[in-house]
Amino acid sequence: MRAAVNAAKAVTGDTSSLTTLASRLDDAQSTATAIPQLTSITSLTLEEAYTVQHLLVGHRVARGDRVSGVKLGFTSRAKARQMGVDDVIIGSITRGMEVPDGGQTDSAAYIHPRIEPEVAWLLGQDVDADEESPDIGWAVEAVAPALEIIDSRYRDFRFTLEDVVADNTSAAGYVIGPWQPVAVAGDVGNRGVGLEIDGRIVQTGSTAAILGHPYRAVAAARRMAKTHGFTLRAGMVLLAGAATAAVPLAAGVRVQSTVSGLGCVGLQVAPGGGDHG
């Protein structure tokens, strides 16, 4: 009963236990095998959960991956309702998670992947997390339609807020469509969003679902970065959050999302694989 032993250690909340929890999540991701929720075997504060997340991302970086940006989660009411969680969360995305636009990903790498249409911002400047001016438009250079693949490392895709934070907010993959300079794109506050699988519309929505306006994601990211120890640097990508509920991602399908005025972004899932969790 290794799990029980680890759980007993984790109850104290010391760093070595949080290290153990991060390793379990890292193994779950590397082997595409679902694990029980951490909070089913131990208690975790939100702060401890973010520590686990930073340790977990550290495993990727130690293997040669690089942090490419951050993502927000639960910025849309549809997503929050779908997952039964209602606080905005932040996670890290890495180069290794990026799928080129129109490229292919392999469903065998995931446990029970889902896909959701998003908007991405490109940071043109370093963002000082201590700076609090309400206008943070200067920080973003370009905007693009994006897709996010989320894959909870927990069984049945079920978790508490602390679980999903520890699991790097289910981050698993992302695709960025064509960047458009912010000045050219104009106001992206209420653009139609369509998600297609094999040419059939499976979700429709509006960019307004993202915190009322995806622009608010920039200030939200700055606030979350300050509270939870993230760095926002020029050149980083900010995934603003899902515009609709996420849909299961099956082997062999072609996915495309269109954001009105911003264009399309897509990927293809390789045939084979299946649900491991």
Judged by the rule CB under 5 A, the positions of this chain that interact with Mg ion are: 148, 242
Could you tell me which stretch among 7-15, 57-65, 74-82, 178-186 binds ligand OOG (CB under 6 A)?
Answer: 74-82
* Closest separation in Å from C-beta 55 to ligand OOG: 19
Interface with ligand OOG, residue 73, by CB under 6 A: yes
Interface with ligand OOG, residue 149, by CB under 6 A: no
Interface with ligand OOG, residue 148, by CB under 6 A: yes
What residues contact residue 218 under an 8 Å CB cut-off, 6+ apart?
121, 136, 137, 139, 140, 238, 240
Interface with ligand OOG, residue 119, by CB under 6 A: no
Q: Which does 74 bind (CB under 5 to 8 A by kind): ligand OOG, Mg ion, none?
A: ligand OOG
Q: Which does 94 bind (CB under 5 to 8 A by kind): ligand OOG, Mg ion, none?
A: none
Among 241, 224, 243, 242, residue whose Cα is nearest residue 232:
224
Instruction: Decide: 70 and 232 in contact? Cβ < 8 Å.
Output: yes
Which listed residue (34, 182, 242, 259) binds ligand OOG by CB under 6 A? Answer: 242
Is residue 71 classed as helix, strand or coil in its secondary structure? strand
Tokens 């369509």 identify what position? 194
Paired with 141 in beta bridges are none
In angstroms, the CA 141 to CA 273 distance is 38
Which listed residue (10, 115, 149, 150) binds ligand OOG by CB under 6 A? Answer: 150
Q: Is 259 buried (19+), middle (13-18) or exposed (0-12) by CB count in 10 A?
A: buried
In angstroms, the CA 23 to CA 212 distance is 36
Interface with ligand OOG, residue 92, by CB under 6 A: no
By CB under 6 A, the residues from 218 to 237 that bind ligand OOG are none
Could you tell me which stretch among 58-66, 96-104, 163-171, 222-230 binds ligand OOG (CB under 6 A)?
Answer: 163-171
- The CA–CA distances, whole Å, from 150 to 5, 66, 260 equal 29, 19, 23
Interface with ligand OOG, residue 83, by CB under 6 A: yes
Summarize as ranges the residues that interact with ligand OOG (CB under 6 A). 71, 73-75, 79, 83, 116, 148, 150, 152, 164, 169-170, 241-242
